């Protein structure tokens, strides 16, 4: 097969390319140039692009660079900024996968005559009993990335490969070491690639939108503190709220921007974070809409929660938790897994759950 492998400059995509090459495929490594601004982390820095190129040389495969910076700005960066401006917590890695790696790149691969696109994600392509494809968790549960890939449906999986999905992270690094790859000991990227470690999120957003001070109030409406930038506050946050020290731990349970001239952050105790249900929208499904029992994961490496999924409107579903669970910040991805916690049913975006 002729396979285009996305190479980010990390150890996972490096080994994925090696696995494909050793399996006899015609492999071309591609690095996407996504972000032209300052970057010292993620897969957008100059050093990462150079690592990808030099690993391709080590493996003896062709390497090219695609410039998708305009698409990245439109589909990832701009929505990220817009979400913060409206008190929503975005998930840029999910949107990058949705619009860039499994849409823009896949279309480019098809146009150029490739049979499949591969990535170094820790996930697997499995099959239902009737032969339909499904997205499954990677063999290494601690590194599983099916959560950020939930938008890849059955049609997309037909032309997608995850060459290291059956390996643990330790096995990936061991394989890279045996091959002498320069990325063998390279640390994993943990941060949003267009937010630099040196300057941070406040610096990035402050150059794109005005950041507003906001009152912090408790559930009775009493003014108890202030935050410098309400756009940086998220549900569940317990630090940086301008509260006096020595008191009980308080958490953000809501962010109210309905009155632009007087935005407020509402705080409460841990029990105030708990809800019996959660609504979500903009769902994508692996093989079709679903209602019934499922497990819901609300962060990239969160613990799946048992729930019952019910459709309550057009593209709108309610998750009734088996046990009261912490509310999910609006804008975050909620990914549904089958009750055995093996494969992805689908996923969507959390809506606000008011106290």
User: How buried is residue 321: exposed, middle or buried, by Cβ count under 10 Å (0-12/13-18/19+)?
Assistant: middle
- In terms of Cα–Cα distance, which of 97, 175, 120 is closest to 10? 120
Q: Which of 44, 96, 280, 307 is catalytic?
A: 96
Residue 44: active-site member: no
Instruction: Compute the distance between CA of residue 144 and CA of residue 121 in angstroms, rounded to an integer.
Output: 8
Instruction: Give CA–CA dist 222/345, Å, rounded.
Output: 43
From the list 43, 193, 280, 307, the catalytic residue is 193
With helix as H, strand as E and coil as C, how does 102-123 read?
HHHHHHHHHHCCCCEEECCCCE
Q: Which residues are catalytic?
A: 96, 193
């Amino acid at each position: 097969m002729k396979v285009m492998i996305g190479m980010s400059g990390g150890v996972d995509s490096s080994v994925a390319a090696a696995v494909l090459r050793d399996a006899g495929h015609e492999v071309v490594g591609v690095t996407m140039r996504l972000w032209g601004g300052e970057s010292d982390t993620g897969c957008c820095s100059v050093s990462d692009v150079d690592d990808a190129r030099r690993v391709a040389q080590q493996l003896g495969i062709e390497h090219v660079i695609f410039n998708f910076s305009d698409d990245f700005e439109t589909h990832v960066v701009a929505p990220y900024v817009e979400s913060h401006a409206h008190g929503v917590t975005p998930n840029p890695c999910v949107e990058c996968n949705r619009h860039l790696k499994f849409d823009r790149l896949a279309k480019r691969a098809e146009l150029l005559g490739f049979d499949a696109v591969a990535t170094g994600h820790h996930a697997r392509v499995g099959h239902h009993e009737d032969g339909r494809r499904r997205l499954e968790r990677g063999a290494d549960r601690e590194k599983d990335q099916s959560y950020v890939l939930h938008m890849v449906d059955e049609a997309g999986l037909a032309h997608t490969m995850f060459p290291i999905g059956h390996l643990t992270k330790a096995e990936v690094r061991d394989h890279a070491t045996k091959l002498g790859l320069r990325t063998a000991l390279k640390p994993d990227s943990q941060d949003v690639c267009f937010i630099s470690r040196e300057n941070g999120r406040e610096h990035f957003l402050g150059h794109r939108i005005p950041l507003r001070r906001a009152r912090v109030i408790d559930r009775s409406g009493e003014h108890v503190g202030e935050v410098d930038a309400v756009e940086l506050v998220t549900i569940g946050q317990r630090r940086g709220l301008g509260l006096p020290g020595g008191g009980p731990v308080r958490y953000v349970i809501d962010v109210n921007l309905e009155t632009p001239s007087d935005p407020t952050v509402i705080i409460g105790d841990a029990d105030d974070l708990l809800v019996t249900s959660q609504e979500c929208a903009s769902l994508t499904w692996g093989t079709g809409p679903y209602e019934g029992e499922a497990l819901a994961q609300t962060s990239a490496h969160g613990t799946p929660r048992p729930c019952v999924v019910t459709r309550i409107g057009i593209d709108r579903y309610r998750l009734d938790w088996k046990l009261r669970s912490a509310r999910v910040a609006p804008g975050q991805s909620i990914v549904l897994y089958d009750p055995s916690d093996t494969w992805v049913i689908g996923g969507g975006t959390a809506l606000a759950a008011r106290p």
